[in-house]
Chains A and B, each alone.
Chain A
């Protein structure tokens, strides 16, 4: 079953607007939550990541909000630009046992930013 559920599947935002992508998980053993950005024909690039001991992490225009009790986390892209148009994946991993570092990915969100 899908360990990490991501929504929406696609998102269209005006230039300068805020893009919000949501993810939810069930396994409370997850202790690392990264977001990846992927352009067509390229490998996923690590964008920003959070551990469950903090509720928010900001890097430039990208912010992760984390709600441990709800088992949800989201990516906010402020002042969205056409160059942000890509597919975004949330993921989760747990560092214990034989599954050390294995990433479980969401299905992805295709973001389009209109100029």
Chain B
């Protein structure tokens, strides 16, 4: 079975630009969560979606938004990029307690 997939793998953007990251969950999983992992730290929760509805939001500015589609895939959007947004963005899918992470998208903002 395919695990969680994310695209793109790497991305380089300039300050002020917008970025869209994509995630496909494990088949049968209806919940998708997004996390930001800055180098040397643990992942920080950004959003959780279940059945296309937002179920939770972490302490991130409104520049961050997300949505979940009918096939349970998800997009994370970040507007007006800042240098501090440079990080590994992780998507996790779950159907119960266990959350399974994808390989992440490495975003570099210059």
Contact = CB atoms under 8 A, between A and B. Distances in A.
Nearest to B42: A105
Contacts of A32: 97
Interface string A9-50: 000000000000000000000001010100000111110010
Nearest to A110: B40
B97 A99 contact: no
A55 B92 CA distance: 27
Contact of B43 (A6, A44, A93, A99): A44
A49 B97 CA distance: 10
B104 A100 contact: no
Contacts of B98: 34, 46, 49
A102 interface: yes
Given A43-B90, A89-B42, A108-B42, A99 B104 contact: no
Nearest to A36: B101
Contacts of B90: 43-44
Interface string B42-61: 11110010100001101000
B60 to A, nearest CB: 13
A99 B41 contact: no
A32 B40 CA distance: 24
17 contacts: A34-B98, A34-B99, A36-B101, A44-B43, A46-B99, A93-B97, A99-B56, A100-B50, A100-B55, A100-B56, A101-B33, A101-B94, A102-B33, A103-B33, A104-B45, A105-B43, A107-B42
Given A46-B101, A102-B56, 12 more contacts: A32-B97, A34-B99, A43-B4, A43-B90, A43-B101, A43-B102, A44-B90, A49-B98, A89-B43, A102-B58, A105-B44, A107-B41
